[in-house]
Amino acid sequence: MSTMKINGQHLEQMLKNGLNNLLNHREEVNKLNVFPVADGDTGTNMSLTLAHGLNSAPSRVEAGPYLKYVSDGMLLGARGNSGVILSQLFKGLYVELARCGWVSPAQLRNALIRAYKTAYASVVHPVEGTILTVAREGIEHIRLQLTRQTTMEEFLSMYTAEMRKSLSFTPELLPVLKESGVIDSGAYGYVLIFEGMLDRLYGKEHKAEKTEEAAAVVGPASPSPIDLDLFNENTVFEEGYCMEFILQLMRGEDYTRRFVLREYIDDLKLFGTSLVVVQDGRRIKVHIHTFKPAKVITLSQEFGEFLTFKLENMQLQHNEVLQGAAEPAGHKELSVIAAVNGDGMEKIFRDLGCDVVINCTEALNASTQDFIRALGKVSADKIVILPNNKNVVMAADQAVRLSELKNVEVLPTKSPAEGYFALAMDIQDSHDIALRINQMRNGMKSTVTLTESAATKDYESGGISCKAGEEIVLLNGKLVAASTDWCDCIINGLKAVPDIDDVESCVIFRGDNTPDEYEAILEERLAEAFPMLEATFVYGGQSVYRFMIGISE
């Protein structure tokens, strides 16, 4: 086979094959995590991100428009750091290929260069030895080898082979990889996608092995039948409608107004929130939360007609999802959105006045879309977001950018414990918003987080080593204690906290599978080892960490 050019349909098949290849290696990618605990989620995050992109892209013959849908979808569905970077790589691809119906190897080369440049630019502190390096070296090392005769198969073979080489060097660039004896997981995931794409050109199809699970990831969540009784004449309608449509801009006398994207967006902003508008030539994709769908329809019909149209009563969905759980009512001065890792934490955060709590497991980070949805649920002069790890900080930042809201502040809380202290220090009944945000910042500041769990593999760091299955404690993500006994391990881990003997208090989140009696055991040992330390035990419900301890001084 020798393919000289590919179009949107080819790309669709190739990308699906790439996704399946990634899915089949997902666990392997997850396990490459640089830390020896099972919060490895790179493979899951990348596949969810790509799947979101593919699911939201209608089939198109032209390559450029197709990639735009994929890229927009990935941007919205991006999960985790690796997902965000992957979405940026695809954004670069589509920007370069926007006007291409058919793509030649030379055009793809230019697009791949644009891709890595876009990705680098999107990361505040680019780190070498990651997906960025592999995407850059993969194309930079072969760009001059391309001739007019080079086929798409040859080109992608060179690209993937070069990336494999670059991948094997990632431990040399990133010490933390070398210490753990692994290659970079995000970079590996990226290579797998392109290898799957190349395989499709050679006619080798990858079927997602775990069909059930793969379907759950690839397919949109199958809508469960909605209980219409949750909405009746007494319901307070305060959620509005979720509208999604694709508008075809039309010629002809009926469509008098000249379409200017910026003006259209400004007009739509008057009617609703959570607005996302993407233009693809003469087609406009719109997502908006509104109380006045008729206004949106009337406005849009000044320019064209609807190709697809979806309208959902969000109150109904909202009532169903929450089933009576406390949600903010009406406009507030300050709303807080937080991400947590367990049902117990969710409750605690709500009790502390958090308006929307996104509960996710350690292995599945909150996505950009989750935050956009959450932003659509609150109405406030000022909104504060409290993420629960550093990748989620990126997703939250991304959501704020996409939402174009100017009144949102992401406090970069890197663990649920930091978020907890931010809320504990908040003065919820104060009308002084600046003071409240400052209080939250103080709460987050100088908080340390210890986590206790079992190591998933042998590991060595900073002179401490552990075997797979052994108990380990991480202090702000760094290994500080390893032992065969979980309780010894926590005591030793706490000793690594600076000035621990002067620490007055801490909060301890108990995990989902941690037996109740462990609390009493730990309490007794703590009283013995740190008599001045007052521990507040709460049920957190997190799945990976047996205990998570937050100390804030």
Partner 1 sequence: MSNFAIMADATCDLTKELSEKYDIITVPGHLVFPGNKEIKAFLDWETVPRDEFYADLKKKPDEYSTSPANVEEFAEAMGKPASEGKDIILMTISAGMSGAYNFALQAKDIVEKKYGVNIKIIDTMRFGPGFGLMAIHASLQRAQGKSMEEVAAWIEENKNRFHQAGWLDDLSFVAKRGRLTHAKAFFGALAGVKPIGEFDYNGMTTVIGKAKGAKKAYAALLSYIEGTIEDPQDQIIFIAQTNRLPQAEEYKKLIEERIHPKEIYVKDVFPSCGINVGPGLMAAYYVGKPISKDLSFEKELLNKYLEAKE
Contact letters for partner 1, residues 437-476 (x by CB under 8 A): --x--xx---------------------------------
Burial 414-443 (b: 16+ CB within 10 A, else e): bbbbbbbbbbbbbeeeeeeeeebbebbbeb
220-225 long-range contacts, Cβ below 8 Å, gap at least 24? 220/55
Q: Nearest approach, Cβ of 520 to partner 1 (angstroms)?
A: 17
Count of residues touching partner 1 (by CB under 8 A): 29
Which tokens belong to 223?
């809508």
Q: Does 430 bind partner 1 (CB under 8 A)?
A: yes
Q: Which stretch, 182-190, 226-234, 346-354, 455-463, contacts partner 1 (CB under 8 A)?
A: 346-354
Residue with smaller CB distance to partner 1, 40 or 540: 540
Q: For residue 254, what is the DSSP state? A: T
Cα–Cα distance between 516 and 194 in angstroms, integer? 47
- Alpha-carbon gap, residue 356 to 340, rounded angstroms: 11
Site for partner 1 in 363-422 (CB under 8 A): 420-421
Does 351 sit near partner 1 (CB under 8 A)?
A: yes
Q: Is 98 in the site for partner 1 (CB under 8 A)?
A: no
Nearest to 273 by CA among 396, 373, 367: 373
Give me the least distance between CB of 410 and partner 1, in Å please: 22
Q: Is 484 in the site for partner 1 (CB under 8 A)?
A: no
Piece of the chain touching partner 1 by CB under 8 A; list 35-43, 78-86, 361-369, 530-538 = 530-538
Say how far apart CA 59 and CA 422 lie, in whole Å: 46
373 vs 436, beta carbon nearer partner 1: 436
> Binding segment for partner 1 among 26-34, 41-49, 460-468, 498-506 (CB under 8 A)?
498-506
Cα distances (Å, whole numbers) of residue 76 to 52, 72, 148: 8, 6, 37
* Separate counts of helices (H) and strands (E) for the chain: 21, 16
* Position among 126, 293, 328, 353 found at the interface with partner 1 (CB under 8 A): 353
- In the complex, what is the shortest distance from the CB of residue 449 to partner 1, in angstroms, rounded to a whole number? 13
Per CB under 8 A, does 501 bind partner 1?
Answer: no
Cβ atoms of 117 and 174 within 8 Å: the answer is no
Burial of 59 (0-12, 13-18, 19+ CB in 10 A): exposed
**Any contact of residue 433 with partner 1 (CB under 8 A)?**
no
Residue among 69, 67, 88 nearest 7 (CA): 67
Q: Which of 152, 208, 423, 491 binds partner 1 (CB under 8 A)?
A: 423
Q: How far is the CB of 500 from partner 1 (least distance, A)?
A: 14
Contact residues for partner 1, defined by CB under 8 A: 348-349, 351-353, 420-421, 423-425, 427-430, 432, 435, 439, 442-443, 504-507, 534, 536, 538, 550, 552-553
